[in-house]
Amino acid sequence: MRSEERLNSPSIPNDVEVALERAVAAHRHEHLFAERAANIKQSAVRDVFDISMRPGLVSLAGGNPFLQSLPLDKLGGLAYQLVTEQGLTALQYGGGQGTAELRRQICEVMAEEGITDADPANVVVTVGSQSAQDIACKVFCNPGDVVLCEDPTYVGALNTFESYQVRAEPVPVDDRGLVPEELERRIAELRASGANVKFLYTIPSFNNPSGITLDAGRRQQIVDICREANVLVLEDNPYGLLRFDGHPLLPLRAGNPDDVIYLGSFSKILAPGLRIGWALVPAHLQRRFYLASESVTLCPPTLNQMLVSGYLESHDWRGQIGTYRRLYAERCAAMLDALDEFMPAGTSWTRPDGGFFVWVTMPEHVDTYPLLHAAIDAGVVFIPGAAFTPSDKPSNKLRLAFSAVSTELIREGVRRLAPVLEEAVEK
């Protein structure tokens, strides 16, 4: 049917016709998809995130940073100044590795956590740490290769692994993080079965989703096990500086420059919408990593890099991190208090030292995914645990985020959630 005929045809509703045409086109193109595209899933977190925007719901789902505490006027002034005074550079393509100034400043940020030997030449600025994970897969992984990860782990990384047809093999954790003996055993088993194990993807500080931190005493042990087995470590550390009390723990990368690719991000210590993250790459791997990054993005966004540089240069960013730390500490305490007050017997939860998340464990017989409907009816949203593990098995866990919600709403959200969980425990 030609388009003017279609407009003149009142008998067929336009949206039905469009849907039909789309279905026919989808059928025609189905066989063109690459195998890897079949594995790309909409993130479960995204699904719930959309629901959580509904008015009246308390969202304990999204791990969004609380941007209200940023100096927005100052950032706005900087952005204006950059475009009006340095627009010909700020709006132009830049180098694929990122600006020299930002790479130097990133080394100062990493020094705050105890990485004191970073060379700006080995820093690659990326479009968030998410794209650094993608680049790592692009550089190291063939379809069918294996990467190890914590169980549970970050859902965005799992999606990236799937899109490269990489098998993510979970390694058990306890309340002190990855269990070294389990890691060693798993690597040996996988090797014996002929698997190509490429790297350990780990979030050692304030894990997303569990909130668990890898014990200081285990950190070197984990790197040593990987080094011994010739497996790289991909250390994802977007929350490391957000420790509530005391100094940040030494990252795995500190003291292990040849065995660890360190991923950092401005998403949690500044703003995720800028999409600026980085990888500190061992010198002997830097070139491959940087060329792979360039092949995807040409260069990271110049204006945003300059904005981050201007912010780091002219603002007390350490003070801003301090503000975030106090804020999240207070919110975490409010969540733990509410859990103590309202949670039914038979449930337990982690007590994080930093970051954004608490991980709740229900009795074994409970599957938390179907509980989401009842929770939404009760006016609260969480992320079911199944999203954070590579297996298809049901999960008796759930993730609660305290970062983006006021202490009052956190208490209200947990109060609404408790009867839903209680009913499930009793079934």
Binding site for ligand PMP (CB under 6 A): 63, 128-130, 154, 156, 203, 208, 236, 238, 265, 267, 272, 277
Q: How far is the CB of 272 from ligand PMP (least distance, A)?
A: 5
Q: Give the CA count within 13 Å in the CB-facing half-sphere of 213.
A: 23
Which of residues 158 and 223 has its CB atom nearest to ligand PMP in the complex?
Answer: 158
C-beta of 163 vs 196, nearer to ligand PMP: 163
β-bridge mates for residue 348, sequence order: 361
Q: What is the DSSP string of 174-186?
A: ETTEE-HHHHHHH
Using alpha carbons, select from 240, 167, 173 the residue that is nearest to residue 199.
167
The residue (of 107 and 157) whose beta carbon lies closer to ligand PMP is 157
Phi, psi (deg, nearest 5) at residue 349 = -155, 160
Closest to ligand PMP by CB, 94 vs 128, is 128
Any long-range contacts for 420-423 (C-beta under 8 Å, 24+ apart)? 420/371, 420/374, 420/375, 420/378, 420/380, 421/343, 421/344, 421/347, 421/360, 421/362, 421/366, 421/371, 422/344, 423/374
Which is closer to ligand PMP, CB of 153 or CB of 347? 153
Least Å distance, CB 132 to ligand PMP, is 8
* In the complex, least distance from residue 192 CB atom to ligand PMP, rounded to whole angstroms: 30
Distance of closest approach, residue 250 Cβ to ligand PMP, in angstroms:
18
Output 129 or 293, the one with its CB closest to ligand PMP: 129
User: Minimum distance from CB of 275 to ligand PMP (Å)?
Assistant: 7
Burial status of residue 139 (CB atoms within 10 A of its CB: 0-12, 13-18, 19 or more)? middle
Residue nearest to ligand PMP (CB): 128
Nearer to ligand PMP, 280 or 421 (CB): 280
- Least gap, CB of 143 to ligand PMP (angstroms): 23
Least distance in Å: CB of 130 to ligand PMP?
A: 3
Q: Which of 161, 226, 157 is nearest to 188 (CA)?
A: 226
**Could you tell me the strand order of the sheet in which 383-384 lies?**
348-349, 357-361, 397-401, 383-384
Q: How far is the CB of 131 from ligand PMP (least distance, A)?
A: 7
Nearest residue (CB) to ligand PMP, 184 versus 236: 236
Nearer to ligand PMP, 149 or 225 (CB): 149
Query: Using CA atoms, how far apart are residues 312 and 314, in angstroms rounded to an integer?
Result: 6
135: nearest Cα among 249, 243, 295, 318: 295
43 Cβ contact partners less than 8 Å away, ≥ 6 residues apart: 155, 156, 159, 387
Is residue 286 within 8 A of residue 124, CB to CB? The reply is yes
Neighbours of 408 (CB within 10 A): 10
**Token duo for residue 65:** 């940073």
Q: Which residues pair with 134 in a beta bridge?
A: none
Q: Are strands 260-265 and 232-236 parallel, antiparallel or unpaired?
A: parallel
Count of CA atoms in the C-beta half-sphere (13 A) of 285: 22
360 vs 404 by CB, closer to ligand PMP: 404
- CA–CA separation, 170 vs 161, rounded Å? 12
Q: How far is the CB of 402 from ligand PMP (least distance, A)?
A: 14
CB closer to ligand PMP, 109 vs 424? 109
CA-angle at 157, arms to 208 and 290, nearest 5°: 120
DSSP H/E element including 275 = none
Q: How far is the CB of 208 from ligand PMP (least distance, A)?
A: 4
- Shortest Å distance, C-beta 249 to ligand PMP: 16
